[in-house]
Amino acid sequence: MFRVIPDNTKIKFTRLKFTAFLFSSIFSLISVLGVAFIGLNLGIDFRGGIIIEVRTNDINVSDLRSELSDLELGEISIQEFGSPNDFLIRVERQLGMDDAQQEAVEKIKSKFNEVFLDKIEYRRLEFVGPSVSRDLVSKGVMAIFFAVIAMLVYIWFRFELPFAMGAVIALIHDVVLTLGLFSFVGLEFNLSTVAAILLIIGYSMNDTVVVYDRVRENLRKFKKMNFEELIDKSVNETLSRTFNTTATTILALGTLYFIGGQIISDFSFAMLWGIVVGTYSSIFIASTVLTLLNVRSFSKNKES
């Protein structure tokens, strides 16, 4: 049987721990600076604005964009939504109160009716106000924060405190690098991205728990083995499972990214990046950081 990862691998992962820590620290710092000074390209969910869903007949994105560009309504994004005839139009929030938003909608409808006649059907119209957008920002941040805290408590009770600390360090690493990527690439950061980050946290934790289970099992079986050798043994024993899970997940997400349409492309891209980073952190961060936390001594004190 063909295996991408052969049985009984003996890769010395712990020898690379300081290189991995340095690499991750540098890119985490760059990501933090990117978010601080460049910022995130917040979507209408977080900035407020107008969302219009339309169904068209023989009209493409270029036609819609060329007509809307003449209205001087600020930033406008148009995405295919479901079928090739359905489009989601996002317009930035206009200066002024509700009357200004309604006036912008009337401008759009008037322009479409003039140019496209009866070729457009309006299916949804939503206004996202500043108070709603601020509320969504705070709830998104709180969702990520509580997800990390919940994982900390779960690993603490299932394993021990040093394991929980290692897992949380890896999770924060994954979230920071994902935010940094969105900052530098300029992809829209919206509620779908928050959902992707929460899924990344869950996926990364799942990988980490598999490795930690093997570490705990080997701690009981090989009480005199050098701890770094034990970590290497544990990671190598779970390497095939980790690679296969990551590869199949990437295949599914790759399909979504390339043929799923623009409406979910940012979500799929965030997930693809997060899966790769999460797998890396489970192997090189969450597991090898245990060598710095004196896990074996902690376990002996707990048993005594």
Q: Which of 128, 150, 180 is the last residue of a domain?
A: 128
CATH code at position 238: 1.20.1640.10
> Can you tell me whether residue 223 is helix, strand or coil?
coil
**Residue 240, domain member (yes or no):** yes
Which pLDDT value is given to residue 179? 92
Q: Which of 70, 191, 207 is nearest to 132 (CA)?
A: 191
Looking at the fold, whether 36 and 138 belong to one and the same domain comes out as yes
154, 28: one domain: yes
- DSSP letters for 87-137: EEEEEEPPSSSHHHHHHHHHHHHHHHHHHHTTSEEEEEEEEE-HHHHHHHH
- φ/ψ of residue 188, rounded to 5: -70, 130
Q: Which residues contact 137 (CB under 8 A, 6 or more apart)?
A: 42, 46
- Taking alpha carbons only, the member of 238, 248, 241 closest to residue 272 is 248
pLDDT of residue 262: 67
Do residue 30 and residue 66 come from a single domain? no
Q: What is the mean pLDDT of each run of 10 residues along the chain (304 residues)?
A: 65 86 93 91 78 79 76 75 76 73 81 75 75 75 86 84 87 92 86 86 86 87 84 88 87 85 79 91 86 64 47
| Confidence at residue 4, expressed as pLDDT on a 0 to 100 scale | 64
**Which residues constitute the domain of residue 265?**
13-42+133-303
Total structural domains within the chain = 2
207 and 107, same structural domain?
Answer: no
Six-digit token pair at 91? 């317009």
Last residue of a domain, which of 113, 128, 143?
Answer: 128
Residue 158 located in a structural domain: yes
How far apart CA 164 and CA 157 sit, in angstroms, is: 9
**Same structural domain, 149 and 283:** yes
Q: What was the pLDDT predicted at 296?
A: 58
Instruction: Check which CATH number belongs to the domain holding 86 and give it.
Output: 3.30.70.380
Domain termination residue (choose one: 74, 107, 128): 128
What pLDDT was estimated at residue 301?
A: 47
